[in-house]
Structure 1
């Protein structure tokens, strides 16, 4: 498996772990159970092994003492009236006695303690197959100097090609006229090991079955418990998608049924409120649309009459001429506001259709700047364009983008305090961005939160040349969203404002990032910032 495949597998496992409450619950329960069962089973295995070994050790020591006592009695009774002893005959009899004294198939060795000088010497004897290497120096030293005591230690006994556990027991025996001898008995405890292996195997199998059983029971219980939650989540998603008639089935009288009833009551309440709001919104949209359309006819008549009066204002006295000019200005403003209301009503009704075509946005920006240049000259604001080059062509509705630019440029000139207005255009393979930067009065945090709201104006008392309805930025935002783009803003009091429009180059593609920072970082911008600071 390649590192890439392993990484992808780990990412999938991580996503599954994060998304599945059922998996996390079952996994945590199984791991906790496995830990507890491992500890308990380990404790039981150690306890059983200790008890089995201790029991076997007690039995072995008892047999060893009995064998040593019987051999000692035999040697003592073999002494004749003259104080002599036939050591060879006694040795043979002792071997027979030792074999009869041990109930298990133990091996023995009767060895002379080194360093003795006695009148007689009895030959060492041992059972066939006795391995003298099992007698350690420590054990031999303890036996030779212990008197009547019995010593033992665990050893490994050869059993064919393998080795099995055993216990060696040593004790001292006094042979008349022959001195001290050491009796060693080796007992096999393979039966204890077999019993312990069986117990451990049983504990292992039982523990695994217990963990699997608990895991299965947890899976079933969690699945049963999570099913209502999953059903509630699915129903909530359907409600969020607009399927307001979806409900959770109500069964029984338990907590789950209570949850279903509470959820359904909440859904009923939301459905009623959403229906009321939808009806109210439709009535509002219809009212705005009807009023806007109904106002078209009288407005047209007023426009014609006002134009006639405005064209003849030179023949009127100064007061009447000024009145004609005010009438003409307010009719223009009224007509603009009516057009904006009609546009917003179309947005609200979802009746707006884009007419996209490949458009060079730099050229579109230049045209918009030329259209606003007379107003900029009137305000003594210089218009500058910064377009470093790139993928400037994009699929857009040119009329709507031009409307956004006219609105942003007009606001920049209005609030620019006569300082330069810089328009940045940049792009990459996926997106195109246009930023309009002014160095005027700027906005505070409260104004930034409301700048895109309908009918909101930054400073209603301020004398302004363009706009006035408070719908310009709201319409611009809707136009940007209609293209799949976004309209952002940055502003600081006394440092000016910057609006950035980011659009996808191809219709239907999602935006990931913007080619321009907000505000854009550019040498021209740095120079202008210094000029504003000096001013």
Structure 2
């Protein structure tokens, strides 16, 4: 559950990142500023730490040299203790050195000292090694070798003291009369340097955070001043796109934003004027088509009645006159269909079309449409085949309009099928149902496929319509499909054939996840299935 919540929050953050220019700008500025402050602050801390250590190291080395000179002076001033030899005097020297050195080194952070005999000596007199009680175990063999190898200079090494504080151990070589060479080690506590460095780090950290917050606040204010007018322009554009043509951007000042607002408003005024003119022109055109279609119905009805009378009496006419009567009747019927299609197109253009939805078995509907068109297909030599593999075939559709779509698609297939078989396939899935009409005729070129749904368009203008089409069937079919929230798609290849696929949602208003039929079609399924 926690993982889901984390993913949900991450998804919201990603969406907010993608949709908010202001958030992206402020975030990027703060992140880059933080990186810059981090790099600069780290450089400053390293530089200050190195300077502090170098300065403190120099002070300690100067103090160690003074302590070395003081100790060497004490050893040089020591005299043997009479007949009993130097043993008593030598044993007292470390204490004397400690009493003289430690008070002088305390001011520089000295905390402990030790005197160690240099290994490998053969003198008869020996001064016992000594150290202060709090001397830590920090003298390494490497440091001792350096002290022995370079007796003219003091040697130092950074160490960590017993309490975890940073420290510095300084060693030098001293000579004890009659006792040989010894090593003097002083330990200095550098915790004060660490305290100073931590204070610098905290100061830089707080200053950096304050600087980043200040940069973020300034960026937010500046971006808000810029993004605000852009957001207003975007909202105004959306309202204009939604049809609210009177919306405008407020014009304030004389800066670039104000110039953008004036230019945008000028463009909106021009668009509103053009759209108004086009809308009025379209309305007049639709009204003209509708009025003409209605006005033509009365004389057309009279002509059709007169033509029917002449057609019924054609046997008593001369052959040429009888043929004229037949042509008159055919063209009047075609004219009636054309008027009906023009009226339907005008209703679509005016947005005055309503669906009459009802649960419909698409297989039965397809069978009815195929039975209606079969005589025409037989006349052209094309065999009609229905393939219905099975599935959830009922859908909420306007049966009259879907039947009209099927008739248009079948008529188009018969017209261009060149007498070859025509396959009508029906299939469905949980979200959609699809109808496909496949012919194996002449097909179309890619440039022709893109225009197949245009009104009154024909791939071959010289080719005569032999089944009485008006040139509006596919355009009306496309509108019928869109009215059902469906899709009417076409695939065609020149010399191979054409396939139209109508995909409809099983319930209007629900999205189509995928079409149950492929496009281009799988001919092995089309030709290998069983008839419904």
TM-score tier (shorter): over 0.9
Following the alignment from structure 2 to structure 1, what is the Cα–Cα distance between the partners of residues 401 and 69? 116
More displaced stretch, 179-188 vs 140-149: 140-149
Which residue number in structure 1 is paired with residue 21 of structure 2? 21
Matches within 5 A, 1:200-239: 200-239=201-240
Which residue number in structure 2 is paired with residue 94 of structure 1? 97
Q: Would the aligned equivalents of 2:425 and 2:526 in 1 still touch at CA under 8 Å?
A: no
Matches within 5 A, 1:79-478: 79=79, 86-88=89-91, 90-102=93-105, 103-106=107-110, 107-131=112-136, 133-158=137-162, 162-478=163-479
Q: Would the aligned equivalents of 2:432 and 2:515 in 1 still touch at CA under 8 Å?
A: yes
Following the alignment from structure 2 to structure 1, what is the Cα–Cα distance between the partners of residues 474 and 19? 40
Q: Would the aligned equivalents of 2:387 and 2:526 in 1 still touch at CA under 8 Å?
A: no
Mark the CA change 1:508 to 1:123 in structure 2 (over 3 Å): closer, same or farther: closer
Deviations 1:347-394 (A, max 9, x none): 111111111111111111111111111111111111111111111111
Deviations 1:93-130 (A, max 9, x none): 33332234423352212233334344533343333312
Mark the CA change 1:321 to 1:110 in structure 2 (over 3 Å): closer, same or farther: same
Q: Secondary structure at the match of 1:385?
A: strand
Report the alpha carbon displacement of residue 446 of structure 1 after superposing the two structures with TM. 1.7
Q: Secondary structure at the match of 1:149?
A: coil
Following the alignment from structure 1 to structure 2, what is the Cα–Cα distance between the partners of residues 179 and 398? 121
**Which residues of structure 1 form unaligned runs of 5+?**
529-535
Deviations 1:22-80 (A, max 9, x none): 22212221221121111111111111111101111111111111111122223323448
Which residue number in structure 2 is paired with residue 503 of structure 1? 504
Report the alpha carbon displacement of residue 145 of structure 1 after superposing the two structures with TM. 4.0
Mark the CA change 1:437 to 1:67 in structure 2 (over 3 Å): closer, same or farther: same
Q: Would the aligned equivalents of 1:70 and 1:101 in 2 still touch at CA under 8 Å?
A: no
Q: What TM-score comes out, normalization by structure 1 length?
A: 0.93
Which residue number in structure 1 is paired with residue 7 of structure 2? 7
Deviations 1:381-419 (A, max 9, x none): 111111111111111111111111111111111111111
Following the alignment from structure 1 to structure 2, what is the Cα–Cα distance between the partners of residues 366 and 91? 121
Q: Would the aligned equivalents of 1:419 and 1:440 in 2 still touch at CA under 8 Å?
A: yes
Report the alpha carbon displacement of residue 510 of structure 1 after superposing the two structures with TM. 2.4
Aligned length: 524
Mark the CA change 1:524 to 1:390 in structure 2 (over 3 Å): closer, same or farther: closer
Report the alpha carbon displacement of residue 270 of structure 1 after superposing the two structures with TM. 0.7
Deviations 1:503-532 (A, max 9, x none): 11212222222111123324364579xxxx
Following the alignment from structure 1 to structure 2, what is the Cα–Cα distance between the partners of residues 242 and 482? 21
Q: Secondary structure at the match of 1:163?
A: coil
Mark the CA change 1:315 to 1:45 in structure 2 (over 3 Å): closer, same or farther: same
Q: Secondary structure at the match of 2:161?
A: strand
Following the alignment from structure 1 to structure 2, what is the Cα–Cα distance between the partners of residues 523 and 175? 111
Following the alignment from structure 2 to structure 1, what is the Cα–Cα distance between the partners of residues 345 and 151? 114
Which residue number in structure 2 is paired with residue 515 of structure 1? 516
Following the alignment from structure 2 to structure 1, what is the Cα–Cα distance between the partners of residues 91 and 357? 122
Q: Would the aligned equivalents of 1:66 and 1:101 in 2 still touch at CA under 8 Å?
A: no
Deviations 1:236-280 (A, max 9, x none): 111111011111111111111111111111111111111000000
Mark the CA change 1:92 to 1:5 in structure 2 (over 3 Å): closer, same or farther: closer
Q: Would the aligned equivalents of 2:382 and 2:421 in 1 still touch at CA under 8 Å?
A: yes
Report the alpha carbon displacement of residue 485 of structure 1 after superposing the two structures with TM. 1.2
Q: What TM-score comes out, normalization by structure 2 length?
A: 0.94
Mark the CA change 1:71 to 1:492 in structure 2 (over 3 Å): closer, same or farther: same
Following the alignment from structure 2 to structure 1, what is the Cα–Cα distance between the partners of residues 15 and 400? 45
Which residue number in structure 2 is paired with residue 52 of structure 1? 52
Q: Secondary structure at the match of 1:468?
A: coil
Mark the CA change 1:94 to 1:431 in structure 2 (over 3 Å): closer, same or farther: closer
Q: Secondary structure at the match of 1:38?
A: helix
Following the alignment from structure 2 to structure 1, what is the Cα–Cα distance between the partners of residues 248 and 519? 46
Mark the CA change 1:119 to 1:412 in structure 2 (over 3 Å): closer, same or farther: closer
Q: Secondary structure at the match of 1:130?
A: coil
Report the alpha carbon displacement of residue 5 of structure 1 after superposing the two structures with TM. 3.6
